[in-house]
C-alpha cells in the first residue's frame, strides 16, 4: 500500500490565457512550440527568479519531468531602418556630444517659459481683505497675482 513503482513522466505547459496541457517526456522545446508560431517556452523557476529578464528555452533543449513551463507569445517588433546622422558627412563623437548638449539646452529653455501652476497659501482674513478692497474680479486676480510674484524666490522668474 502506498508504494509507487512508476512515476509520472510528464511536463505541464501553461499558456498566458490560463489553459494548460501535459506532455509525456522526453520532448524538446522546439517540438512543443512547433504548433504555436511566435511562441517561446520559459521555465517557471527562471520566470520566478528573473521576471521579465528570464531567457527562453533553446528549441533543442529537452524538457524535464515534473516541471512547469510557460508558453508565451512574443510581441512582434517593427523593423526600423537606422537613422543617419548626416548624408556623407562623418561627425566625430565630440561634435555629436556638443549637438546633444545644444539640443537639450534648447528644450530646457522652452520648458522654462511655460509655468503650469503656482500654489500660494493665504490666510482667510487676507483673502477677504483683498476681496473687499477690489473693485472687480479681475482686480482681485491681479492683486493675488502680485502677491504670488512677491513670494516667489529670486532666480525662478526668467
**Among 114, 46, 37, which Cα is nearest to 76's?**
37
Top-level class of domain 10-73: alpha beta
Domain coordinates in residue numbering, the chain: 10-73, 118-158
Cell of 136: 472687480
**Among 88, 114, 85, 84, which Cα is nearest to 99's?**
85
**Among 154, 127, 157, 152, which Cα is nearest to 141's?**
127
**Among 11, 9, 10, 76, which Cα is nearest to 44's?**
11
Q: Which residue has the higher pLDDT, 47 or 109?
A: 47
DSSP string covering 37-71: TTEEEEEHHHHHHHGGGPPPPPTTPBPPTT-EEEE
pLDDT digits (tens, 9 = 90+) for 92-123: 666 666 666 555 555 445 555 555 566 777 78
Per mean pLDDT, which range of 32-36, 67-71, 144-148 is the poorest?
A: 144-148
Amino acid at each position: 500500500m502506498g508504494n509507487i513503482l512508476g512515476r509520472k513522466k510528464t511536463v505541464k505547459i501553461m499558456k498566458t490565457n490560463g489553459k494548460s496541457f501535459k506532455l509525456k517526456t522526453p520532448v524538446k522545446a522546439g517540438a512543443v512550440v512547433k504548433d504555436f508560431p511566435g511562441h517561446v517556452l520559459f521555465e517557471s523557476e527562471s520566470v520566478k527568479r528573473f521576471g521579465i529578464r528570464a531567457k527562453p528555452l533553446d528549441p533543442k533543449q529537452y524538457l524535464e519531468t515534473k516541471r512547469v513551463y510557460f508558453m508565451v507569445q512574443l510581441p512582434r517588433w517593427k523593423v526600423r531602418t537606422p537613422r543617419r546622422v548626416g548624408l556623407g558627412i562623418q561627425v566625430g563623437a565630440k561634435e555629436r556630444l556638443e549637438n546633444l548638449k545644444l539640443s537639450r539646452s534648447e528644450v530646457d529653455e522652452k520648458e522654462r517659459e511655460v509655468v503650469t501652476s503656482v500654489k500660494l497659501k493665504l490666510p482667510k482674513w487676507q483673502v477677504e481683505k483683498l476681496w473687499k478692497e477690489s473693485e472687480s474680479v479681475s482686480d482681485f486676480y491681479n492683486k493675488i497675482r502680485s502677491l504670488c510674484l512677491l513670494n516667489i524666490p529670486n532666480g525662478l522668474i526668467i
